[in-house]
Amino acid sequence: MSQQGPPKRDKFAALAQQSSSDAFRRRDKFAALERRGDPVVVTHEQQQETQEQKLWKERMEQRQAIWKDMEQAEALTIKLLQLAQETATSLATTTTTTSTVDKNQVSSMANEFSQTLTRIHQCLLPHAAHVKAYTNPSRINRMYQARVELRLAQEKREIIQELLSLEQQQETMSETQKQQLLKRKREDS
């Protein structure tokens, strides 16, 4: 008779079970991640924090470089002041005494002065972009300035009015005094 094999249903069930478990394994992305291990997931906020930290670190390094150069320029400025003092004292001694000016000493001081000045310039030149020129105060301060000017103008007007009234009083007093003098003269005569 005919061979009886496993029922078709069982063959398909076995195939379906086997293929579904393989397909499930292939299609399950999260399972693959678990097998590989969790990669480092960086959120947008964490990226911003790291960028901010990098910017902060760069700013700190920049500030340290600026401070270092400023300290060096300060030391050179003190040296300039000392050179100016030495030059002034040497010139003062030559004017008070009859000795002549040592041209070599003056020229060496002048050379040292110009070299020190160029070194100061070299220290501060890279940071010139960070220097901002002084500007007038903001709008608020301009309003304050306008109020002060208005108050001063009002006080000036009051003072001028007082001076005018005093002059007018003096003129009327002088006229009355003149009239009184004329009356006395008439009476005396």
Higher pLDDT among residues 186 and 1, named by residue:
186
Residues 147, 100 share a domain = no
pLDDT mean over 79-104: 82
Provide the pLDDT for residue 71. Answer: 93
pLDDT bracket for residue 96 (50, 70, 90): confident
In this predicted structure, what is the pLDDT of residue 48? 76
Q: What is the pLDDT of residue 168?
A: 87
Pair of tokens at residue 93:
């001694």
pLDDT digits (tens, 9 = 90+) for 2-44: 555 555 556 666 656 665 555 555 556 666 555 555 455 667 7
Answer whether residue 30 is part of any domain: no
CB 111 within 8 A of CB 158: no
What is the per-residue pLDDT for 22?
Answer: 52
pLDDT, residue 1, reads: 47
Q: Are residues 117 and 154 in the same domain?
A: no
One domain, residues 138 and 106: no
The string of pLDDT tens digits covering residues 124-148 is: 898 888 877 766 666 667 778 888 9
CA–CA distance, 97 with 86 (Å, rounded to integer): 17
Is 58 within the bounds of a domain?
yes
Note whether 127 and 57 are same-domain residues: yes
- How many structural domains is the chain composed of? 2
Kindly write down the DSSP assignment for every residue of the chain, as one continuous string: -PPP-S-HHHHHHHHHHHHHHHHHHHH-HHHHHHHH-PPPP--HHHHHHHHHHHHHHHHHHHHHHHHHHHHHHHHHHHHHHHHHHHHHHHHHHHHHSSPPP-HHHHHHHHHHHHHHHHHHHHHHGGGGGG--------HHHHHHHHHHHHHHHHHHHHHHHHHHHHHHHHHHHHHHHHHHHHHHHHHH-
Answer with the residue of higher pLDDT: 75 or 144: 75
Least confident of 64-73, 93-102, 166-175: 93-102
Residue 108 and residue 65 in one domain:
yes
Domain boundary among 87, 106, 131: 131
| Domain limits for position 108 | 51-131
Is residue 23 in some structural domain?
no
